[in-house]
Chains A and B, each alone.
Chain A
Amino acid sequence: MQVTMVVNDEEVTREIEGRLLLVHFLRDHLALTGTHWGCDTSNCGTCVVWLDGEPVKSCTVLAAMAGGHEVRTVEGLEQGGELDPVQKGFVECHGLQCGFCTPGMMMTARALLDRNASPSEGEIREAISGQICRCTGYSTIVRSIQWAAAEEAGTRTTTADAASAADVPTTADSGSAS
């Protein structure tokens, strides 16, 4: 069957099997390999992308179901050569190690901040609870998302105690929510 969808603002049309999972469509057919595949029971969330702005686990969506819809992946987070504050936050606060869960985590974080500009620690943990990270122990991911929220609100300040955020000068380009 033929499927047409918009992926990262670009319309794509491909011939696919009806059973093809969206995660494999993105990875194998479009070579968008930032989205990962970490389990077979829909638990790990390394495959999270947006379907019409909503985070979904792309291992649990058929590519055919995305036909006529808009998909955004980690490759579509950066806008105009400028990293999203969430991406910057993960770098600044050491919110990643092996990097395998990172794309999915960041897509969820971006979606969270779009609807709640200053989430509490509990709200952040709840938001990413459908996603497993084996490296970071989550604290620095929480800090990364807080960093991005503060960056967008223009309220980020240097704090002496948080090693993750120490001595990081505010950059001029505190972009708005995408």
Chain B
Amino acid sequence: MTTVAGSPVTEFENNDQKPVGHGRMLRKEDPRFVRGRGRYVDDVQLPGMLHLAILRAPMAHARIVSVDTSLAEAHPKVKLVVTGAMLAEKGLAWMPTLSNDVQAVLATDKVRFQGQEVAFVVAEDRYSARDALELIDVEYEMLDPVVDVRKALDPAAPVIRDDLDGKSDNHCFDWETGDAEATEDVFARADVIVSEDIVYPRVHPAPMETCGSVADFDAVDGRLTLWSTTQAPHAHRTLYAIVAGLPEHKIRVISPDIGGGFGNKVPIYPGYVCSVVGSLLTGKPVKWMEDRSENLTSTGFARDYVMRGEIAATRDGRILGIRTNVLADHGAFNGTAAPVKYPAGFFGVFTGSYDIEAAYCKMTAVYTNKAPGGVAYACSFRITEAVYLVERIVDCLAYELDMDPAELRLRNFIQPEQFPYTSKTGWVYDSGDYEPTMRLSMELAGYGELRREQEEKRARGELMGIGVSFFTEAVGAGPRKDMDILGLGMADGCELRVHPTGKAVVRLSVQTQGQGHETTFAQIVSEETGIPPSDIDVVHGDTDQTPFGLGTYGSRSTPVSGAAAALVARKVRDKARLIASGMLEVPATDIEWTKGSFHVKGDPSASVTIQDIAMRAHGAGDLPEGIEGGLEAQICYNPENLTYPHGAYICVVDVDPGTARVTVRRFVAVDDCGTRINPMIIEGQVHGGLTDGVGMALMEMIAFDEDGNCLGGSLMDYLIPTALEVPDWETGFTVTPSPHHPIGAKGVGESATVGSPPAVVNAVVDALKPFGVRHADMPLTPSRVWEAMQGRPMPPI
């Protein structure tokens, strides 16, 4: 049964009950990856292919006086040099962003962040293309940069976006949610009010594979094929049609194997457009592959919210209200990937898992001389920030009340009978049973024992901290009446075709970047049809071969596309039932479905398998009246709501009193994402997200100096956890299905990234309690922890 080569391995947690379908199953993807036979964008080699390199701005803010490309053009291996001015002539110098702003493809008037694209070179090989960048001479006139988000709206601040008509400041947008007046009221009658300034610093998703593309324009039939690192190939195709004016049916976007995305590969980057332009102008395939520094300095960052969090409560620990004021740094162009009506994403879920009386948020977003982005790195559209805010401010309240943080949470949970629960900011939580999840996490961690150990250690002057975080996520964007990206509704298509011999192919609109869709979507279809997962191929990432949909991010694959896969399989099953009725010569209503076959009610011996039916559907002979030949279906699934998974995390840290170095000793994560399609894959998703959380809490930050130089632009400074900085993860689960999802499954991929940073920070702050520390900002590097221990906690930006 266990084979690794050739056929995929199938094995299930409950072998007797689950011959096929949901359960632990090894991955169909792995056989190629462990042999080095994945196919990532930079593996694509085409005849005559040329290489593209991008010249980038060395400073954050400067006017372009002149660009001299003559020396680069004279390079013997250079085929093409393109500047912003040349693109402007073709109307391609600017492109729309996912937030209805515009972003420069190549700078024309001035540069607005360090690392911005200024010109590009296409040459015979990647080394020559880089050589030629050195031969381009750009004259800049320096301008003062806007770096500190808190000073961006000063009247004297230089205006970054003077490209926008009548723009006289750096204001990007305002946004609010909740009820300001009702929140005032509850704060007015609270026993305790706690306020804290909480910064979620700028970080970067930094997938191991950087962004890149290979554009191949065929001038004869006018077709563009674009291999690219995209999480949303269909949305990209539509945007290329709009940006480049190419007809959409002549554009084929192929997202092959992707070496991790983490939200970094949702937006369209100038490099992709440059490779398309390069291919259009040379008539040859053109490859662009950025290096790590380019990835860190110019592609979508994450977070960068400066928050004032306020919480109102009674003395005995009943939370009454939460209020927050946010200053959001969006960089030089608003490139945030979010549904159009949600400029702050789903930050509105900042009331968390608690049943409170009122809440209010006021946000101001600004431009600064930094790279665009904001929504990335498993944030579920800003829920990382929302959960960090609420879980940090609840801990600040526990500190003030001198109450155990787990106990405070337990007292305020939304109760199971309150679901579906409408939050004070209007989000309708689908289902949840929070206390058992919290209790399980405490039990796995040995919470009471940990607190006793901490007490003993404190008595000896040792610094041990226990951090608790309980989160509610909101994933699966989303209902098309509310949610769209640039006018494209956030529904997802799915097609299922069963071949005559009973093998099947299912085509998805979403795009895996390692989350295991080729395995789990086969399992979903298998669960519904009884066709073994090994007989089901999953096709994704090729816009010519797959139905339209919006791609993978926001943990939306299972909630939206997974629902589509289940429903399209049921549609096929419904047709199979009609064909079976003809084969069994009884009315369809007299037929029962058992996994993989239909049989006559009361006579299990009279049965036909799904494979028999597939052959009949394609074979000779009559089908029942009105039934077409073939066995296939398609669907476009419009979710009625998001799914709201939740989780309880407990982190244990030790802080060295001499060096202030934090060691994460243990981390217990209990997640509830409803029905679990493949527990092995969920566990892996959780482990990865927890590592993100430790990284963000302790190590990672994209910082800038006062001149706007990016200080985290390589892996020398942008520190990502290795195997030595993280513990062996301890996980558990509870199951509270989503009532509106066809198989009760919720998304989960981002839960751990969302839920873990507050657990780590809460643990570190808890360790520092003897020093009277109530809050310290990420990243909690030794120097920053040391400062906090000295009573000098400093905001990171």
Interface residues of A (CB under 8 A from B): 17, 19-20, 24, 27-28, 31-41, 43-44, 46, 73-75, 77-78, 81-83, 87-88, 90-92, 94, 96-103, 106, 121, 124-126, 128-142, 163-164, 166-169, 171
Contact = CB atoms under 8 A, between A and B. Distances in A.
A108 B32 CA distance: 19
A96 B30 contact: yes
B220 interface: no
A132 B208 contact: yes
B683 A129 contact: no
A102 B293 CA distance: 22
Interface in B121-140: 125-127
Contacts of B37: 34, 75
Given A41-B716, A136-B684, A98 B30 contact: no
The 6 closest A-B pairs by CB, nearest first: A34-B36, A98-B514, A100-B259, A137-B687, A99-B33, A97-B514
A28 to B, nearest CB: 8
Interface of B is mostly: loop
A32 B210 CA distance: 19
A174 to B, nearest CB: 12
With most chain B CB atoms within 10 A of its CB, the pick from A82, A128, A139 is A139
A101 B208 contact: yes
B208 A140 contact: no
A99 B38 contact: yes
B691 A137 contact: yes
Contacts of B127: 17, 19-20
B293 A40 contact: yes
Nearest to B684: A94
Contacts of B450: none
Contact of A134 (B33, B260, B724): B260
Given A38-B292, A137-B690, A83 B5 contact: yes
A101 B684 CA distance: 15
Interface residues of B, number: 69
A33 B516 CA distance: 21
Nearest to A78: B35
A88 B794 CA distance: 48
Interface stretch (B39-47, B187-195, B571-579): B39-47
Interface in B338-356: none
Contact of B27 (A24, A94, A103, A131): A94
A132 B720 contact: yes
A88 B4 contact: yes
B722 A129 contact: yes
A155 B127 CA distance: 49
Interface string B706-730: 0000000011100010111010110
Contacts of A27: 42-43
A35 B689 CA distance: 25
Given A38-B209, A83-B5, A98-B257, 18 more contacts: A27-B43, A36-B209, A37-B42, A38-B292, A39-B292, A41-B292, A44-B292, A87-B4, A92-B9, A94-B26, A99-B514, A134-B262, A135-B684, A136-B688, A137-B690, A137-B691, A137-B726, A169-B2
Contact of B680 (A28, A94, A137): A94
Contacts of A131: 722
Contacts of A126: 723-724
Interface string B756-793: 00000000000000000000000000000000000000
29 contacts: A31-B45, A34-B38, A36-B40, A36-B42, A36-B208, A36-B259, A37-B42, A39-B715, A41-B714, A74-B34, A83-B34, A83-B35, A87-B35, A90-B34, A92-B4, A97-B260, A98-B207, A99-B38, A125-B723, A129-B722, A131-B722, A132-B720, A132-B722, A134-B262, A135-B260, A137-B684, A138-B722, A140-B683, A141-B723
Interface in B574-590: none
Given A87-B34, A128-B723, A137-B729, A98 B208 contact: yes
B2 A75 contact: no
